[in-house]
Amino acid sequence: MKVKSLLAYHLLALLVVAVWGVTFVCTKILIAAGLKPAEIFAIRFTLAYAGIWAFCLYRGRKGGDHQASKLFSSTAFHEAIFVFLGITGGSFYFLTENTALVYTQACNVAFLVCSAPLFTALLTLAVKRFCHGKLVDGLEDIHVGWPLVTGTLLALGGMAMVVFERQTLQLSPKGDFFAIGAAVCWALYSIFMAQMTSEYGALFATRKVFFYGLLTIIPFLFGGDGAAVASALVQPRVILNLLFLGLIASLACFIVWNKVMSKLGSFTTTNYVYLNPFFTLVSSMIILGERMTVMSAVGSLAIILGVILAGKK
C-alpha cells in the first residue's frame, strides 16, 4: 500500500481516538443527568444502528455495496464470531466502561482503558499459541522480547498506582477495575474484528456488532426507572450528548475504525488508544473540573510508556 494511503489511515485513527477521548466526559454528563450505564449504551447504539441501516440501504440502492445490506454472514461460525464481537466491542465493553465512570473520574477511566493495546498483544499471543484455523492464522505476528516484557511490567505497575492511589478506606477502586475490564473487552474485540471487516466490509461488520451489542444489553435494562429516563431525555444537554455519542462517536467512528483496522492491522491500530487519555484529560479538566493526584499522574505516565514500549516492533 502506498505511503500516502497509509498516512491517511493513521490520521483517521488519530481523529477517531480524539473523538472517543471526549466521549468519557459526555457519558459522565449523562450519568449525572440520571441515566444508567446500560441505558446510555442502549440509546446510543439504537441511534447508531438506525443510522447504519439507513446508510447500508442507501449504498445498496446506489449499487455501491450490496453485501452491506444482507442479513446474515456466510457461515454459522462467522455469525457466532459477530455475536462475540457484539458482546466484547459492544454491550460488555460499554457497560463496564460506563459503570467505571459512575465510581471514578473520567481521566482515570481513560488512562486505564488505554491499556487495551497491551492486552491485545498478550491475548493475540495466547490465541495463536493455543488455537488454530484460518481466522487465527491471519492474526498479526507478535514476538516476545524485552520491549513487550518490560512494557507489560511498566504498564501493570502504572495501573496499580492509579487503582490504589486513594488513601481513604471509604473510597473503593471498583471503578478502576471496571475500566480494566473494559480494556480487556476491547482487546478481545480488536483481535478478530480486523479480519471480519476484511471479509465482509466495514459497513456489514459494524452493523452486526451494533445489533448483537443491543441484543445482549437487554437483560441489563430490566428494573430501570422509565420516569427518570423520560425526565432526562427532555434536557437539551442530554439530547446533544446522546446524538454525539450515537451518530458521531458510534456510527461514524466505528465504521472508520473498523476500516482502519482492516488496513493497518488490529495491533497497530489499537496502539492509537494510548493517545485517548490526553483528549479525555483536557476535556474533563475544562468541562468537569477534574484533577489528578501526583501518584495517579505518575501511574498514568507509566501506563502510556509501557504500552508504547510493548508495541515497539
* Domain spans in the chain, listed from the N-terminal domain onward: 3-106+176-292
Q: Is the pLDDT of residue 158 over 60?
A: yes
Q: Rounded CA gap, 27 and 238, in Å?
A: 10
Provide mean pLDDT across the span 13-17: 88
Could you tell me the pLDDT band of residue 138, with boundaries at 50, 70 and 90?
A: low
CB–CB of 202/269 below 8 Å?
Answer: no
* Backbone torsion region of residue 34, taken as left when φ is above 0, otherwise alpha when ψ lies between -120 and 50, otherwise beta: left
Which residue would you say has higher pLDDT here, 127 or 143? 127
Grade residue 263 by pLDDT with cuts at 50, 70 and 90.
Answer: confident
The whole-number average pLDDT for the span 166-173 is: 49
Whole-number pLDDT of residue 170? 39
Q: What is the pLDDT of residue 169?
A: 36
User: What's the average model confidence in pLDDT over 247-276?
Assistant: 81
Mean pLDDT for all residues in the chain: 81
Angle at 58 (CA atoms; ends 53, 63), nearest 5 degrees: 125
Whole-prediction pTM: 0.78
Report which of residues 116 and 270 the model is more confident about.
116
Residue scoring higher pLDDT (243 or 158): 243
pLDDT digits (tens, 9 = 90+) for 81-99: 999 999 999 999 999 999 9
Least confident of 135-149, 160-174, 183-197: 160-174
What distance in Å separates the CA atoms of residue 281 and residue 278, rounded to the nearest whole number? 5
Structure confidence by residue, pLDDT tens digits, 222-238: 877 788 888 888 899 99
* Plot region of 212 (φ>0 → left; ψ -120 to 50 → alpha; else → beta): alpha
Angle at alpha carbon of residue 98, lines to 95 and 99, rounded to 5°: 80
Query: Rounded distance, CA 154 to CA 139, Å?
Result: 25
Residue 29 reports pLDDT greater than 50:
yes
CA distances from 149 to 144, 176, 270 (A): 7, 23, 18
Q: Beta-carbon neighbour count of residue 65 at 10 Å?
A: 16
